[in-house]
Amino acid sequence: MYPGALLGCQGMGEFQNMLHAALNIGVDPVAIKETIYQATAYLEIGRTCDFLIAANGIMEQHGVRLPLAPQASTNEETRFERGLAKQVELFGPDMAKRQTDGPALRRNINRWLADNCFGDYYTRNGLNGQEREMITFCFFLAQGGCENQLRGHTAGNFGVGNGKEKLYSVVEQCMPYIGYPRSLNAMSIIDEIAAKEK
């Protein structure tokens, strides 16, 4: 959780401190790197590149041999199909309709969302579906101003088995890094989506 929140709020100093601690207690370097890679789709490369460079340096200090084993499971030919399947799995069949029935001006970005965000990242090994959805929730939670996406990924978390109690716990763990206003906003969204799920 903490890397997603610290990436989202751009807390580089604390990210570095916590990464040393995480590696000292045996957190899998692959999981850490996968979190950073996935952040690129949600935070953009300009805000994630420095975190990747810092993580590589810290991992080398801890004796982690880089590069790590590749985790990609798609290629240029399969990324769209598998990414769209992942979107449908997480958010329902309406995701497929966005490719054909959505506004013409949005079709490019809808396709990029399927093949890049979901095909390139969500299909990777190293983190499971529950972990990826929880981390994505943390990205939106921490950066603020992304309430619509936080709603969508709250529902996505519910769909993969990260229920209301789990997400409340995630918010509580992230609160020292993101503050009370964003924490309270997230809890309101969790309540809102939980009420719709009933």
Helices (H), 2-160: 2-9, 12-24, 29-43, 45-61, 79-91, 94-100, 107-112, 129-143, 147-159
pLDDT value of position 172: 97
Tokens of 174: 């992230």
pLDDT value of position 102: 83
Looking at CATH, the fold of the domain delimited by 2-66+123-191 is given as AhpD-like (1.20.1290)
Mean pLDDT by 10 residues, the chain (198 residues): 90 96 97 97 96 98 98 97 95 91 90 96 96 96 94 96 97 96 97 92
pLDDT value of position 48: 97
pLDDT value of position 26: 96
Domain boundaries, the chain: 2-66+123-191, 79-122
- My answer on whether omega of the bond before 67 falls inside 30° of 0, hence cis, is yes
| Dist CA 10 CA 7 (whole Å) | 5
pTM score, two decimals? Answer: 0.94
